[in-house]
């Protein structure tokens, strides 16, 4: 088992109700996520990416708050062999105009095919998009297919190799535009 999809499939079959992560958010009760919930939620996103024609190796930017949607969107991209890249969500610490300018610059550099966000955040993203950029889809979290039992035989991610890119990680951008580093499955495991 040399890739994330292969390892997660094994865990899904062997211990589906094992809690793999616990999400903590201020003012809310902790949310435990099992392997079953993780993979079934991710499968809904993977099917959404597939239905939109997102191709292997294309970058999908995730602009979601830390929570279950972000987790499912990320792993859905991994299972679909798109390359997820998590971008910061606009907070009170960021100036909206600067945020949009930085997002537009990141889109120009990263060349994503899609952006995943919330319906009420779409208005913040639209000003960063232009007619000639690479973004073909703005996927809203309420448009994603429902969680379902994964069909591992038809998930492209199951065919990946350890040296294949699994994610695009960005620096914080405190000294300038965020810089992206493509990481393989093996690099992350190492």
Question: In terms of pLDDT, which residue wins out, 167 or 182?
Answer: 167
State the burial class of residue 116 (Cβ atoms within 10 Å of its Cβ: 0-12, 13-18, 19+): buried
Size of the chain in residues: 190
Secondary structure E strands in the chain: 19-23, 31-34, 59-62, 83-86, 114-117, 137-140, 165-170, 180-184
User: Which of 8, 41, 12, 23 has the alpha carbon at shortest distance from 144?
Assistant: 41
Q: What global pTM score does this model have?
A: 0.91
State the burial class of residue 107 (Cβ atoms within 10 Å of its Cβ: 0-12, 13-18, 19+): buried
Is 81 in contact with 160 (CB distance < 8 Å)? Answer: yes
Question: Encoding tokens for residue 53?
Answer: 């024609």
Give the per-residue pLDDT at 178: 62
Is 47 in contact with 145 (CB distance < 8 Å)? Answer: yes
* 105-163 pLDDT, tens digit each: 889 888 999 999 999 999 989 988 988 899 999 999 999 999 999 999 988 888 888 88
* 10-67 pLDDT, tens digit each: 999 999 999 999 999 888 899 999 999 999 999 999 999 999 999 999 999 999 998 9
Question: In terms of pLDDT, which residue wins out, 88 or 52?
Answer: 52
What sign has the CA pseudo-torsion 75, 80, 86, 92? Answer: negative
């Amino acid at each position: 088992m040399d890739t994330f999809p292969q390892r997660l499939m094994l865990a899904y079959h062997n211990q589906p109700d094992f809690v793999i992560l616990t999400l903590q958010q201020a003012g809310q009760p902790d949310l435990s996520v099992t392997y079953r919930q993780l993979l079934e939620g991710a499968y809904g996103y993977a099917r959404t990416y597939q239905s939109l024609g997102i191709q292997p190796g294309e970058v999908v930017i995730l602009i979601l708050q830390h929570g279950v949607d972000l987790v499912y969107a990320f792993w859905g991209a991994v299972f679909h062999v798109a390359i997820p890249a998590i971008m910061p969500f606009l907070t009170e610490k960021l100036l909206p105009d600067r945020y949009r300018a930085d997002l537009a610059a990141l889109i120009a550099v990263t060349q994503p095919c899609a952006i995943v966000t919330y319906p009420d955040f779409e208005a913040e993203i639209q000003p960063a998009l232009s007619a000639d950029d690479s973004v073909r889809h703005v996927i809203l979290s309420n448009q994603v297919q429902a969680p379902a039992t994964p069909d591992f035989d038809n998930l492209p991610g199951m065919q990946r190799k350890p040296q294949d890119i699994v994610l695009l990680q960005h620096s914080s951008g405190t000294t300038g535009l965020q810089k992206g580093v493509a990481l393989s499955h093996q690099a992350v495991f190492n």
